[in-house]
Amino acid sequence: MESAARAHFAAPGGFGIVSGRSDFVILILDFGSQYTQLIARRVREAKVYCEIHPYNLAIEKIRAMRPRGIILSGGPASLYEAGAPDLAPEVLRVGCPVLGICYGMYVIAQHLGARSAGSRAREYGAATLVIDQPDALFEGIAAREQLVWMSHGDRIEAIPPALEAIAHSGNSPYAAVRTRDGLLRGIQFHPEVAHTPCGAQVLGNFVRKVCGEAGDWTPAALVETKLAEIRARVGSEGRVLMGLSGGVDSSVAAVLIHRAIGDRLRCVFVDTGLLRAGERERMETVFAGRLKIALSVVDASDLFLGRLAGVLDPEHKRRIIGHTFIEVFEKEAQAIGGARFLGQGTLYPDLIESVSFKGPSAVIKSHHNVGGLPERMRLELIEPLRELFKDEVRAVGRELGLGADIVDREPFPGPGLAVRIVGEVTRERLELLRRADRIVMEEVEAAGLGARLWQAFAVLLPLKAVGVMGDGRTYESVIAIRAVESSDGMTADWARIDPALLARLSGRITNEARGVNRVVYDITSKPPATIEWE
């Protein structure tokens, strides 16, 4: 089916996307904006496939992708800084429509001979955009004046004859411009953020009306394409060893691979000793029982905890866990025999946060299945979900017929409770955290908050506090409760949950999790924090 060709499969061991039909790609070139991932989210919400690549992606690769449109992101740099990132001029001559956002607009304008300067009055925050001329970007937007979000310190002061203004703001005389042929456009504001109410319409208009995309990239199309690609990659005899973590991502990936190759998939669930309470038993019930997918459970808790002994640095923890996972999988593959591929539930945010590849943004943390992998592996990776965001994975899971108990599970980090214990990981500290965490899960479920919250969990802090229980003084551990709301995990806001629920959590944890005498609630959003503590 033609629409199925909009999904793309990741090259083994690489981050590029390859496909027999790459002419349906909207290419986002990243200049380091904090909002680049939001651009991708908005484009995909318009049911159009897109990819993020660095602004300096080789022109040969861009031409080979045959993009239907290119979006240039914003960025923190100023055009007047030494070494400010720039675009190869050939990119603007690829032949497809180009939309520059904020810094991306300056790049386009500069290449065409516009004069830019540091703004006499910088513009950050809400602003009023006045649409001066009809344009495909603003089709369907009735009011001439629109509230938009600005974040810039430069502005265009004069434009050449090749450009014409189509909108302005109080601060920017050229808040939106286009070339006379309509192939290149630039906008000063950020359409990708929620603070620009018309932004989704603007981006949707660009990819559908300007670039000619049909807007039919759907979970059903994705599933059909992935099944065909997995079969082609693995072959008629190949076997896949799938690492299950118990979360949504690896579960959906496993069912997708099983649908493609059947019993040539062997799932391995590693009991790392870092699991939530009852997780091992749940996986055995769901996969070996209900789904009838071959499952081996490997108890490697002694190995993992032994290697984590004395380790305090979060990044070191993640790398130890990632390397140990692969070691266990490779050993299991040899025991099973014939497995050449390792399946993983890697998602797009894992790649973005783990590897400084998709542009000049910095590495945030290594995910156990990305940055934590050994450089040399004996198993080839199969990662059918690596171009997707979490909500897209859930949609794929529903398309595959998986139940809500799998698809709607809250995300759980691959390194497990190791990244929810700040400081050294020991069996004693794990047991204490499990008791507290089970209470959080029970109370959140009883309150009916599962659909509202992205994640809710307990964190064991590396400090003790003085307390009083009965008539005696205590000096015991502190538990932090973390509950956030999010759509894809790239950004998150702390949840304003009922104080009565917080009171129940505090009361139960201090009474039932022996060794804890103080509970605190984390009210930090992402950014500046991450969702997990480590």
**Residues marked as catalytic:** 102, 190, 192
- CA–CA dist 373, 34 (Å, integer): 26
CA dihedral 147, 151, 155, 161 (to 10 degrees): -60
- In order, the DSSP letters of 154-208 are EEEEE--TTEEEEEEESS-TTSEEEETTSSEEEESS-TTSTTSTTHHHHHHHIII
- In order, the DSSP letters of 515-529 are TEEEEEE----BTTS
The helix/strand/coil state of 353 is helix
Amino acid letter for position 146:
Q
- In order, the DSSP letters of 113-159 are T-EEEEEEEEEEEEEEEEE-S--GGGTT---SEEEEEEEEEEEEEE-
- CA–CA dist 100, 214 (Å, integer): 22
Asked if residue 68 lies in contact with residue 24, where contact means CB atoms within 8 angstroms, the answer is yes
Asked if residue 53 lies in contact with residue 39, where contact means CB atoms within 8 angstroms, the answer is no
- CA–CA dist 115, 113 (Å, integer): 7
Residues facing residue 165 across a β-bridge: 177
State phi, psi for 511 to the nearest 5 degrees. Answer: -90, -40
Residues whose CB falls within 8 Å of the CB of residue 394, separated by 6 or more in sequence, listed in order: 248, 252, 407, 408
